[in-house]
Amino acid sequence: MSSPLFRFFKKGFIALGIVSVFVFGFVYLQNTKKEVVAKPPIEQIWTVAAVNAQSGTAQPVDVAFGTVRSGREAQLRFGVGGEVVMVADRLRNGVDVQKGEILARLDNERFVLALEDTKVQIESENRQIE
């Protein structure tokens, strides 16, 4: 049977022994390491071929991969959603169009009904106010 005080000192001596081995090893390695002497940088010499600059024309050759797209491409979009009911015959590749020319038309029945519904609501509100 060992007393609690004996167990405490036993664990303490073991811990102290482990720490002292690590400290001794660290001091030994620090004292036996080799000294590294810094070498001065070596001067480097490059030979350069100089030429006289002359004015002239040069055309670079570019090699590229990908898709080429026309810069004259345009997208036709409407500000509202709906079904397209008419597309102009002149809406083709390469045809010039004029300002104000109708290129496509949407089905406006839904918008006309919404406008009429709003007018009826306004009239109803005006009658209630009177």
Within a domain: 98: yes
Within a domain: 94: yes
Q: What is the structure's pLDDT at 30?
A: 93
Within a domain: 47: no
Within a domain: 58: no
Summary mean pLDDT of the chain: 85
Within a domain: 79: no
Q: What is the structure's pLDDT at 22?
A: 97
User: pTM here?
Assistant: 0.34
Confidence check: pLDDT of 1 > 60: no
Within a domain: 99: yes
Within a domain: 71: no
Q: What is the structure's pLDDT at 4?
A: 84
- Mind giving me the DSSP string for 47-92? -------------------S----TT------SS---EEEE-TT-S
**Residue span of the structural domain in which 98 resides:** 84-129
Q: What is the structure's pLDDT at 95?
A: 79
pLDDT grade for 118, boundaries at 50, 70 and 90: very high
Number of domains in the chain: 2
